Amino acid sequence: MSEEYLSQPLSLGSSSSDDKTRPNRSSGLSSATSTFATPISPYLNYDPRYLQQAQPEFIFPEGANKQRGRFELAFSQIGSSVMVGAGIGGLAGFYNGLQTTSALKQTGNLRRTQLLNHIMKQGSGTANTLGTLAVMYSAFGVLLQNVRGEDDDINTLIAGTATGLLYKSTAGLRKCAIGGGVGLGITAAYCLFQLMRTNSNGSGVKFL
Amino acid sequence: MEEYAREPCPFRIIDDCGGAFAMGCIGGGVFQAIKGFRNAPSGISKRMIGSLTAVKIRSPVIAGNFAVWGGMFSTIDCTLVHFRKKEDPWNSIISGFATGGILAARNGIPAMAGSAIIGGVLLALIEGVGILFTRLSAEQFKNPAPPIEDPAVLGEAAQPFSFGQTSQHPSQYQ
């Protein structure tokens, strides 16, 4: 804010009688009350133009970023994918267990134990798979964010592709490429979805 | 991680579960890589393959076990916070004890007791170390002691004070 801007009179309220009054920081109570049409608090004896109203002002703790990065999100992402995986795997295991036990005509205690075994085994398997994928994705994401210095959709795409490639890296070149493609496809779909949502919410052209 | 940087309570469960999974996945990966390398048949390429196989098979399982521990611990912690209406080291110790017990529930009572005690002692150690570090770091920021204002330091008042007569005693003039 320059001094030139501050030296101009305030055009708030009725300025018929006091065109000469130049409200500034040192103007006292009388100037503050006479400049405005409505009497304001005598404690407000400084130029209200110092109060920024255009953009919100936030006070951050020292060294904190304005937005939470990928590292802060990583643990919740991993945790939720582990839990979702456990839930899905548990349900699938329950279904499989029901089918297996009824095919083998197991009843009573035996059936209950077999069902529990199925649920635990398939649940933990799916949870581990999804969790490992999330760990890989988060690691790549955090790495890319630190290297490139920004957090955008390109990071998401690269991290997804790299996750797919790494996860299938021991299964042969062809499967590895397929894994990378799947990762790229999922992240691209996610990015398109995000773009569509921001465009439909904000003022802009509709996407798709 | 500072206390104010953590999530509020119900979401903390997911966060802790994820943190434990990541820790188990990376730590277990390193551990299993070394173990697989040592246990594989000789020959550098065979050792590499053995290491990779061990990491692929074992580290997600270790990560899953960690995640279950973390999630269960955090769930009990949050339940205790809800019912006791305060957050203190006892919450952590109790939930460590309970988690150790619950997760060993299918191995019989003695295993449960041993596991529970191990969990409780571990968490008590962690909390104790945390409190110790807080004490130590608080020591740095302690204000310096204010200077002592004791008139006795100035010594005995030898003569009564008066202006202009610092060197001579009034009795000299008489």
Which ipTM value was assigned to this complex? 0.70
Nearest-CA neighbor of B134 among B3, B7, B5, B19? B3
Residue A46 lies in a domain: no
Residue A9, pLDDT above cutoff 80: no
Please give the DSSP secondary-structure letter assigned to residue A65. -
Provide the pLDDT confidence category of residue B97 given band limits of 50, 70 and 90. Answer: very high
CB–CB of B56 and A129 under 8 A? no
Answer whether residue A64 is part of any domain. no
Percent of chain A with pLDDT over 90: 33
Tell whether A156 is covered by a domain: no
Domain that holds residue A80: 69-130
Please state which of the ranges A61-70, A171-180, B14-23 shows the lowest mean pLDDT: A61-70
Mutate to test the interface with A, among B2, B14, B16 (most CBs of A within 10 A): B14
Q: What is the pLDDT of residue A47?
A: 67
Is residue A44 in a domain? no
- Count of domains in chain A? 1
> Exposed e or buried b for every residue in B146-162, given b needs 16+ CB within 10 A?
eeeeeeeeeeeeeeeee
Considering chain B, what is the average pLDDT of its residues? 83
| pLDDT (average), residues A41-66 | 67
Residue A105 lies inside a defined structural domain of this protein: yes
10 Å Cβ neighbour count for A164? 25
Give pTM, 2 decimals.
0.69
- Which of A82, A120, A137 to mutate to test binding with chain B, by most B CBs within 10 Å of its CB? A82
**Which residue in this structure is represented by tokens 């009843």?**
A107
A124 and chain B in contact, CB less than 8 A: yes
pLDDT band at B91 (very low <50, low <70, confident <90, very high): confident
* pLDDT on residue B121: 93
- By CB atoms closer than 10 A (0-12, 13-18, 19+), residue A109 is exposed
> Is A88 among the domain residues?
yes
Lowest average pLDDT, out of A181-185, B39-43, B127-131, B138-142, goes to: B138-142
In a domain, A169, yes or no: no
Identify the residue whose tokens are 């500072």. Answer: B2
CB neighbours of residue A136 within 10 Å:
21
What pLDDT, on a 0 to 100 scale, did the predictor assign at position A207?
Answer: 39
